[in-house]
Every structure is written in structure tokens, then in C-alpha cells.
């Protein structure tokens, strides 16, 4: 009788398989997928290397690895992604939260370091990660997340409930800020900003995400161009608009903000040194 397959052996085989298939991070992906199947943390895997896997566990792991090798993102396979140290449910209806977008939360904390915003709008909310992270940072604020996709709003509402934020944040279906009542002290947005002709050059994993959350039109700025004057009209005096942008877009977006009347224009770099967030303040 052959010896049972241990966690260590399963990890080694999984890593080798993903490496052969050209997956960019085979070791990490193998660890995350096995930990997900077993209901363990990655640290716990290391403490149980000699634990045998059942036949069902091996079958399930093989299926996860097959889907990963076919280009399905790890976050869709596990159904969750961490953002700003908070857990978020994700699926094929929403863009996967990325560390680059945490720059938006950092920027908001910086510009509101003296007094927290009382009201926040998150335009193109997707999974709700930005609004929920901001609501955690600004514990007395209320917020609304807007998205044109009903499925994304279901995911966002689930995340707000899971994080205990449902009493302070709400989600509505709409086109940017149209149909959302009231004024805001902070408007944030991670809108689609990839130029249309660049979509097909994205990695297979990224192309699995909703195209509507990626495609920003010919120059990537179609929705940003529409939102900027809307946000200026809906912001309270001294309120801020903070926008995530793509590499090389900061200057053009700054010009849009300036033309709309925003003052105090600023940009923030992500961890890779790329200008990732552009913001401006509505004057008196």
C-alpha cells in the first residue's frame, strides 16, 4: 500500500504543476489554494506538513489547480480577498481589490487628518472595499456606494453586513452620481481606466474580471471625465474628490480637475512609485 499524500508533498506537486503551466506565483498560489480547501491559514499549513490528505481533499485540490492553470484568478477560486487588512467576498461580478487601490484610503486619511468626513460617496463601488475601508477608518461617517451593476451591489452589500457596517453605508444602482441625493465631504472613485485597445494585452487573469470594470474608453478617461464636474457640483465646500488613475494618466486627470474648478491639486504614489491617486478640493 502506498503512503498517503502529505500536505508537504501536495504543496510540492501543486507548485511544480503551476510552474509548468506558467503561473506567475506558483508557490504562493499553491499555498493559498490548499489552505483554502483545508480551512487553514498558510502558517497552519507549515505546522501540519505531515498531515495526510483525504482522497476528496486531493480531488478538490486538483480541480482548483486546474482552474488556476486555466487562468482563473486565485481570489475567484477562494471567494475572498483582503483589502486594507479587511476580508472581502469577491466573485466574477466584481473587480478584485488590489493593493494599489489602498492608496486611495491612505490619501483620504491624509487630507482628512484634522477632521473626518461626515459623508462619503464611492462611485463605481464594485465589491464595496473602498467604502467599507473608509467607513472603518472614519468611524462616524455615513456613506453611499454607487454602481451600475446590480450583481456588484449584491456583493458590496454582503461585505458591508459582514463587516458590521450596514447601518452606516448603503448601496444604490445608478450612473455615477446621477440619482444619488445629497452633498458629500468626500467622493472617491476607482472607475475603469484601461484604454480599450489595451484590454486584450492584459494578463489572462485580469481579462477574467468584468470588462465593464476595466474598459475606460479610447484614452481610459471616459467615466472620469464625466464624474469630475458631477463631483464638483455635489461636494460640500472644502470637500475632496480622490480618483484612482492608471500609469501615465495623472497629468491629464489633474487638468480635468483644474478645469472643473478644483483647488489644491495633489497626487499620491502607490508602492511601486506610480502616481496612482489624483485629488482636488472644492474651494469655498
Cell representation of residue 257: 480637475
Same domain, 55 and 110: no
CA distance 268 to 280: 12
The whole-angstrom separation of Cα 133 and Cα 269 is 19
- Span 188-205, average pLDDT: 95
Number of domains in the chain: 2
Supply 176's cell numbers.
455615477
120 and 51 in a common domain? no
Residues 241 and 104 in one domain: yes
Q: How many residues does the chain have?
A: 284
170 and 46 share a domain? no
pLDDT in tens, 167-194: 999 999 999 999 798 999 999 999 999 9
Q: What is the CATH number of the domain that holds 109?
A: 3.40.50.150
Query: What region does 164 belong to: left with phi over 0, alpha with psi -120 to 50, or beta?
Result: left
Rounded-to-10 torsion of CA 214, 250, 117, 156: 10
243-261 average pLDDT score: 98
Residue 222 host element (H or E): helix 222-234
Q: What is the pLDDT of residue 46?
A: 86
Closest CA to 191 of 157, 218, 225: 225
In a domain, 196, yes or no: yes
Count Cβ atoms within 10 A of the Cβ of residue 52 and give its class: 0-12 exposed, 13-18 middle, 19 or more buried.
middle
Does residue 261 come out as left (phi exceeding 0), alpha (psi in the -120 to 50 range) or beta? left
Cβ pair 268, 277 in contact under 8 A? yes
For cell 458631477, the residue is: 230
Per-residue pLDDT at 227 exceeds 70: yes
Are residue 162 and residue 103 in the same domain, yes or no? yes
pLDDT at 246 over 50: yes
Mean pLDDT, the chain, rounded, equals 95
Position 1 confidence tier, pLDDT thresholds 50, 70, 90: very low
Q: With bands split at pLDDT 50, 70 and 90, how would you rate the model's confidence at 3?
A: low
Say if residue 151 is in the same domain as residue 11.
Answer: no
* Residue 267 CA neighbour count, 13 Å, CB half: 19
Domain identity same for 109 and 18: no
Confidence band, pLDDT 50/70/90 cuts, at residue 164: very high
Phi, psi of 250 (to 5 degrees): -60, -40
> What DSSP state is assigned to residue 260?
H
pLDDT in tens, 254-283: 999 999 999 999 999 999 999 999 999 999
pLDDT of residue 2: 57
CB under 8 Å to 279, separation ≥6 — which residues?
107, 111, 240, 241, 242, 243, 257, 265, 266, 267, 268
Same domain, 225 and 102: yes
Q: Is residue 89 part of a domain?
A: no
pLDDT, position 4? 81
- Give this prediction's pTM: 0.93
| For residues 192-219, average pLDDT | 95
pLDDT attached to residue 139: 93
- In this structure, is residue 159 part of a structural domain? yes
Instruction: Specify whether 16 is located in the same domain as 125.
Output: no
Q: Is residue 43 part of a domain?
A: yes
Q: Which domain holds residue 110?
A: 97-281
The predicted pLDDT at position 284 comes to 81
CB atoms within 10 A of CB 160: 23
Render pLDDT for 105-123 as a digit per residue (tens, 0 to 9). 999 999 999 999 999 999 9
C-alpha distances in Å from residue 261, one per residue of 106, 185, 188, 271: 24, 16, 17, 29
Residue 13 above 50 pLDDT? yes
Q: What percent of the chain has pLDDT over 90?
A: 94
Note whether residue 75 is domain-resident: no
Instruction: Choose one of 52, 70, 88: the last residue of a domain.
Output: 70
Distance from C-alpha of 54 to C-alpha of 7, rounded to nearest angstrom: 10
Regarding whether 131 and 60 lie in a shared domain, the answer is no
Average pLDDT estimate for 19-41: 95
82 belongs to a structural domain: no
Mean pLDDT of 66-95: 96
Amino acid at each position: 500500500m502506498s503512503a498517503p499524500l502529505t500536505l508537504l508533498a501536495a504543496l510540492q506537486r501543486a507548485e511544480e504543476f503551476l510552474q509548468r503551466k506558467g503561473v506567475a506565483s506558483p508557490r504562493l498560489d499553491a499555498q493559498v489554494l490548499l489552505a483554502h480547501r483545508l480551512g487553514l491559514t498558510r502558517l497552519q499549513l507549515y505546522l501540519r506538513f505531515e498531515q495526510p490528505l483525504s482522497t476528496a481533499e486531493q480531488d478538490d485540490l486538483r480541480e482548483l489547480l486546474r482552474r488556476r492553470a486555466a487562468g482563473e484568478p486565485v481570489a475567484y477560486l477562494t471567494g475572498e480577498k483582503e483589502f486594507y487588512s479587511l476580508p472581502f467576498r469577491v466573485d466574477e461580478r466584481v473587480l478584485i481589490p488590489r493593493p494599489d487601490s489602498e492608496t486611495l484610503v491612505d490619501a483620504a486619511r491624509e487630507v482628512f487628518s484634522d477632521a473626518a468626513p461626515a459623508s462619503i460617496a464611492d462611485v463605481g463601488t464594485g465589491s464595496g472595499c473602498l467604502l467599507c475601508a473608509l467607513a472603518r477608518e472614519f468611524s462616524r461617517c455615513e456613506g453611499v456606494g454607487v454602481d451600475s451593476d446590480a450583481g456588484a451591489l449584491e456583493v458590496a452589500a454582503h461585505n458591508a453586513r459582514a463587516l458590521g457596517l450596514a447601518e452606516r453605508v448603503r448601496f444604490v444602482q445608478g450612473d455615477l452620481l446621477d440619482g444619488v441625493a445629497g452633498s458629500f465631504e468626500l467622493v472617491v472613485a476607482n472607475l475603469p481606466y484601461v484604454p480599450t485597445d489595451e484590454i486584450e494585452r492584459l494578463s489572462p487573469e485580469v481579462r477574467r474580471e468584468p470588462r465593464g470594470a476595466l474598459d475606460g474608453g479610447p484614452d481610459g478617461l471616459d467615466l472620469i471625465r464625466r464624474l469630475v464636474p458631477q463631483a464638483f457640483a455635489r461636494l460640500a465646500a472644502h470637500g475632496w474628490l480622490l480618483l484612482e488613475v492608471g500609469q501615465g494618466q495623472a497629468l491629464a486627470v489633474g487638468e480635468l480637475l483644474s478645469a472643473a474648478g478644483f483647488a489644491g491639486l495633489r497626487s499620491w504614489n502607490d508602492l511601486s512609485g506610480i502616481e496612482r491617486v489624483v485629488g482636488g478640493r472644492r474651494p469655498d
